[in-house]
Amino acid sequence: MQVKAAVAYSVGQPLTIETIELEGPQAGEVLVEIKASGVCHTDAYTLSGADPEGLFPAILGHEGAGVVVEVGADVKSVKPGDHVIPLYTPECRQCEYCLSLKTNLCQAIRTTQGRGLMPNGTSRFSIGGNMIHHYMGTSTFANYTVLPEIAVAKIREDAPFDKVCYIGCGVTTGIGAVIYTAKVEAGANVVIFGLGGIGLNIIQAAKMVGANMIVGVDINPKKRALAEKLGMTHFVNPHEIAGDLVPYIIDLTKGGADYSFECIGNVNVMRQALECCHKGWGVSVIIGVAGAGQEISTRPFQLVTGRVWKGSAFGGARGRTDVPKIVDLYMNGKINVDDLITHVMPIEQINHAFDLMHRGESIRSVVTF
Ligand code: NAD
Ligand code: DAO
Ligand code: ZN
């Protein structure tokens, strides 16, 4: 079939709206009509060329929501008409990783997904007979996309596509990091570095679980108002404090953070996030994706004396199991998604969405089809 897509032809070039070819779903695959897609930093990271695994040409996009229109042979868990969120972290429920219940990093289709291909090693997208890569197994910057069955989460039908698409990445990453990865408990003091599309969701999850102090750290003072609306109790602008940031936060929290989260992708801030943790038990979670080849460092004594350094992908969420629950949190008014979606525009304006992100003027832009 012919579909409308924003094609990334090469590094650093604006996306081009094209009519391209999409083959139908094969065994174990589903065809989904994408109704809306968020534009995330990871799309920009790949488009910039900083992503060592970036492949071109590709249909980017990994934060979508839509409707199943056709299923291939052997598909059992979804049917035409079902509303779904594509999952860049699938959940096969059969691989060693899924069965371990220790991780959400299902490996069932990891190799082909990383090569921009469907599980049988081919692409469903092409233009003029030339293959176009899938991206993160999702490719949501197209009005139709083909996905493995294990890479869609079935969601309730009353959830608005142009809001819950954000649950396909940013919301789940932030909320999940608090409730699945860190398991923050009521009364904890939490420090969040970077108050963007991820950090703001950490804030609202910390409030939801009953955290005590919720300290937000950002160099952009414009981030303060929305962060406070979502539950931030203290704002720290590193450019406005006297002295070093780490002792400042340890003093503010009277001993250090019980939990800290790095939501920027800056390896120097990752070190600050660890070292502002409470001696003996503080846990620091890395969420930000650093540039290729960058490394983190600290004095090992930071860990010897009880601080824990860990990371979180997709909030530790098992997509097919947990994403529908996060949609319920939104639909039941427990989390605020609407205020974080600052811009909505047709797919034709997707390059404007990238510009807004680069200028720090949006939290999340959503493109619709
Ligand atoms: P964003 O740009 O919306 O937010 C980043 C914030 O950090 C901004 O408000 C910016 O002002 C602030 N900031 C920048 N430098 C700073 C510094 N030195 N000190 C304090 N604040 C600083 O980004 P986002 O969409 O929230 O994404 C954050 C990171 O998370 C990115 O690296 C993204 O790729 C990554 N990410 C990770 C996952 C995952 O599963 N681990 C999922 C999605 C996104
Ligand atoms: O090795 O199993 C694996 C793949 C892990 C992918 C996790 C991606 C999470 C971070 C990227 C940001 C996503 C928007
Ligand atoms: Zn699996």
pLDDT tens digit string along 181-206?
999 999 999 999 999 999 999 999 99
Query: Per-residue pLDDT averaged across 153-174, rounded?
Result: 98
Place of tokens 């909505």: 344
- The per-residue b/e assignment along 230-267, b for 16 or more CB within 10 angstroms, e otherwise, is bbbbebbeeeeeeeebbebbbebbeebbbbbbbbbbbb
Strand-pair category, 190-193 with 259-262: parallel
Neighbours of 301 (CB within 10 A): 8
* Residue whose tokens read 């398991």: 183
Average pLDDT over residues 67-89: 98
The 283-286 sheet, strands edge to edge: 234-236, 214-217, 190-193, 259-262, 283-286, 308-311
Q: What is the Å distance from ligand 3's center to 201 Cα?
A: 26
Dist. CA 366 → ligand 1 center (Å): 18
Q: Whose CA is nearest to atom 30 of ligand 1?
A: 288
Question: What's residue 147's pLDDT?
Answer: 98
Pocket test for ligand 2, best of 47, 87, 89, 285 (most atoms within 8 A of CB): 89
Catalytic residue among 18, 29, 41, 278: 41
| pLDDT score for 52 | 87
Average pLDDT, the chain: 98
Torsion angle (degrees, nearest 10) of CA 56, 168, 337, 187: -120
pTM confidence score = 0.98
| pLDDT at residue 179 in the model | 98
Which two structure tokens, joined as six digits, stand for 332? 């039941």
Peptide bond into 300 cis (omega under 30): no
Residue 266 pLDDT class (50, 70, 90 cuts):
very high
Is 83 labeled as catalytic in the residue annotation? no
Has residue 95 got a pLDDT over 90? yes
63 catalytic per annotation: yes
ipTM confidence score: 0.98
Q: Which residues of 312-336 are buried (b: 16+ CB within 10 A; e: fewer)?
A: bbbbbbbbbebbbebbebbbeeebb
Q: Which residues line ligand 1 (CB under 6 A)?
A: 40-42, 45, 169-170, 173, 193-199, 217-220, 223, 238, 263-266, 269, 287-289, 312-314
pLDDT at 79: 98
Rounded CA gap, 301 and 299, in Å? 5
How confident is the model at residue 53, as a pLDDT?
A: 87
Catalytic choice (23, 33, 95, 342): 95
- Rounded to the nearest angstrom, the distance between the alpha carbon of 329 and the centre of ligand 3 is 25
**For residue 137, which of 55, 18, 39, 17 has the smallest C-alpha distance?**
55
Do 60 and 139 form a contact (C-beta atoms < 8 A)?
Answer: yes
The predicted-structure confidence for 125-135, as pLDDT tens digits, reads as follows 999 999 999 99
Find tokens 């530790």 and name the residue.
316
3-state secondary structure of 229: helix
Q: Which residues line ligand 2 (CB under 6 A)?
A: 40, 42, 62, 89, 105, 107, 110, 169, 289, 313-314
146 phi and psi, to 5 degrees? -110, 135
Catalytic-residue membership of 278: no
Given a contact cutoff of 8 angstroms between Cβ atoms, the answer to whether 140 and 61 are in contact is: yes
Ligand in closest contact with the CA of 288: 1
Q: Residue 33: which H helix or E strand, with range?
A: strand 29-39
pLDDT recorded at residue 292: 87
- At position 73, the amino acid (one-letter code) is A
Q: In this structure, which amino acid lies at residue 97?
A: Y
Has residue 164 got a pLDDT over 90? Answer: yes
CATH match for 174-312 among 3.30.420.40, 3.40.50.720, 3.30.460.10, 3.40.50.300: 3.40.50.720
pLDDT value of residue 24? 98
Question: Is residue 42 flagged as an active site residue?
Answer: yes
CB atoms within 10 A of CB 100: 9
**CA of 265, closest atom in ligand 1:** 32
pLDDT digits (tens, 9 = 90+) for 246-255: 999 999 999 9
Range(s) of the chain covered by CATH 3.40.50.720: 174-312
- Enumerate the β-bridge partners of residue 307: none
| Burial class for 184, CB neighbours closer than 10 Å (0-12, 13-18, 19+) | buried
Between the CA of residue 115 and those of 45, 55, 167, what are the distances in Å?
Answer: 17, 8, 25
Q: Please, where are the H alpha helices in 96-209?
A: 96-100, 110-114, 161-164, 170-176, 199-208
- Taking alpha carbons only, the member of 179, 223, 218, 172 closest to residue 198 is 172
pLDDT at residue 250, as a whole number: 98
The neighbouring-strand residues paired with 192 are: 216, 261
The secondary structure element, H or E, covering residue 246 is helix 245-252
320 has catalytic annotation: no
Atom of ligand 2 nearest to the CA of 97: 2
User: Quick check: 264 pLDDT over 90?
Assistant: yes
Domain boundaries for CATH 3.90.180.10 within the chain:
2-168+337-368
Active-site option among 23, 33, 93, 110: 110
316: DSSP letter: G
Could you tell me the two tokens for 129?
A: 């007979």
The CATH number corresponding to 2-168+337-368 among 3.30.2310.20, 3.40.50.1000, 3.30.465.10, 3.90.180.10 equals 3.90.180.10
Distance 95 CA to ligand 1 centre (A): 31
CA 139 to ligand 1 centroid distance, Å = 22
Determine contact, residues 169/313, Cβ cutoff 8 Å: no
Which residue has the CA at smallest separation from atom 8 of ligand 2? 313
Tokens encoding 12: 């650093």
Rounded distance between C-alpha atoms, residue 363 and residue 369, angstroms: 20
